[in-house]
Amino acid sequence: MKQAVINPQRLMQVLSAPVISEKATMVAEKRNQVVFRVMRDATKPEIKAAVELMFKVDVESVQVSNLKGKVKRTARGAGRRNHVKKAYVCLKAGQELNFAQEGI
């Protein structure tokens, strides 16, 4: 597979935030995966390169999930939350991320 040249400035913007939830914690313990909220136009190779660059870990694979924003009603009418893209990043054996010491 041909490796594309990825802009380092874009890589710093690809990851928005880690997802902290019960499901994310369960996946981290059982499958050695970390969940991130990412830009909606980010690709799997960009996400992999961004995690490896920022956290100095080896990434085995990346799965992405596109979530549609919920429609919510208020007194002023109907509105919609923003669409979100999440990335499930599988780390190689022996690798781990500690958000307390390392930061985005």
CATH number for position 75: 3.30.70.330
Q: How would you class 43 by CB atoms within 10 Å of its CB: exposed for 0-12, middle for 13-18, buried for 19 or more?
A: middle
Residue 101 domain-assigned (yes or no) = no
* % the chain with pLDDT above 70: 89
**Number of neighbours of residue 88 by Cβ within 10 angstroms:** 19
User: Whose CA is closest to 11, among 44, 53, 40, 41?
Assistant: 53
Q: What is the mean predicted confidence (pLDDT) over 27-56?
A: 93
CA distance 53 to 49: 6
Please report the pLDDT score of residue 15 as a whole number: 93
Distant-in-sequence, close-in-space partners of 53: CB < 8 Å, separation ≥ 6: 8, 11
Residue 60 domain-assigned (yes or no) = yes
Q: Which domain holds residue 24?
A: 8-91
Residue 63 domain-assigned (yes or no) = yes
Please report the pLDDT score of residue 3 as a whole number: 60
As for how many domains the chain has, the answer is 1
User: What is the tens place of the pLDDT at every residue in 54-92?
Assistant: 899 999 999 999 999 999 998 889 999 999 999 999 999
Predicted confidence band at 9 (pLDDT cuts at 50, 70, 90)?
confident
Please, where are the H alpha helices in 16-82? 22-31, 44-55
Residue 102 domain-assigned (yes or no) = no
Q: How would you class 86 by CB atoms within 10 Å of its CB: exposed for 0-12, middle for 13-18, buried for 19 or more?
A: middle
